[in-house]
Structure 1
Amino acid sequence: MSDKFQRFSEFYPYYLSEHQNLTCRRLHFIGSLLILCVLANVLVTHQWLWLIALPFLGYGFAWVGHFFFEHNRPATFTYPFYSFLADWVMFKDILLGRIKF
């Protein structure tokens, strides 16, 4: 990870600045929601093979948002851990109404 961000609290505002497009944020939210739905289904049905779909759901929706709507490079390429964490914080902030959906 680059030395640009020493703490997550410094990274998160940058992450949000990379997600200003409403469609991009919605695609991130949908991908994250689908991940939670698939995880719940796996825990109930014990169909473990569905776990393979998780990265495709999460990153697939997010990358479509970045490449076709936000027109920027996903932060996960440079900051994989912080980006993963920030995506779930953004999901929570959208649910709580702190970020426009």
Structure 2
Amino acid sequence: MDERCPPQKFSSFAEFYPFYLAEHSKPMCRALHYVGSTLVLLTLFYGLFTSQYYVFWYLPLLGYGFAWIAHFFIEKNRPATFTYPFYSFLGDWVMLKDFLFGKLPKSTSK
């Protein structure tokens, strides 16, 4: 596992986001995050439009399952969710948005 030490506390999401992207430097890691986030959105809309609300129980598994597999087996680092849960959750969605709109810096293979 990667043992990089981030700053103790970020004072804003803008300060956190570059750290977040660095923790998601490998293309396959980012891809698995996109898959998980997309499945979360599809499942959310499915549950809402079909009134099958039980599918909401799958949302954490879909969102975090793909992300944690990516961190533990591809990036080999500890997910930022464990230390910065809110910023990390927000980072997932901002990274997906930036990817979809072509505003994401290129990922690198460490």
Instruction: Give me the TM-score of the superposition, normalised by structure 2.
Output: 0.87
Equivalent residue, structure 2, for 1:25: 30
How many aligned positions are there?
Answer: 100
Q: Does 1:9 align with 2:10?
A: no
Equivalent residue, structure 1, for 2:95: 90
Deviating more after overlay: 2-11 vs 12-21 = 2-11
| Structure 2: distance between partners of 1:67 and 1:22 | 14
| Structure 2: distance between partners of 1:79 and 1:4 | 9
| Structure 1: distance between partners of 2:27 and 2:77 | 14
Partner SS for 1:36: helix
Equivalent residue, structure 2, for 1:63: 68
| Higher fraction of helix | 1
Q: Does 1:37 align with 2:38?
A: no
Q: 5+ residue gaps in structure 2?
A: 1-6
| Structure 1: distance between partners of 2:42 and 2:75 | 26
Partner SS for 2:32: helix
CA RMSD of aligned residues (A): 1.4
Instruction: Give me the TM-score of the superposition, normalised by structure 1.
Output: 0.94
Q: 5+ residue gaps in structure 1?
A: none
Identity of aligned residues (%): 59
Equivalent residue, structure 2, for 1:54: 59
Equivalent residue, structure 2, for 1:73: 78
Match for 1:36: what amino acid?
L
Offset, 1:26: 0.2
Offset, 1:4: 1.7
| Structure 2: distance between partners of 1:16 and 1:74 | 12
Would you identify which runs of 4 or more consecutive aligned residues in structure 1 move more than 3 Å?
Answer: none
Match for 1:59: what amino acid?
Y
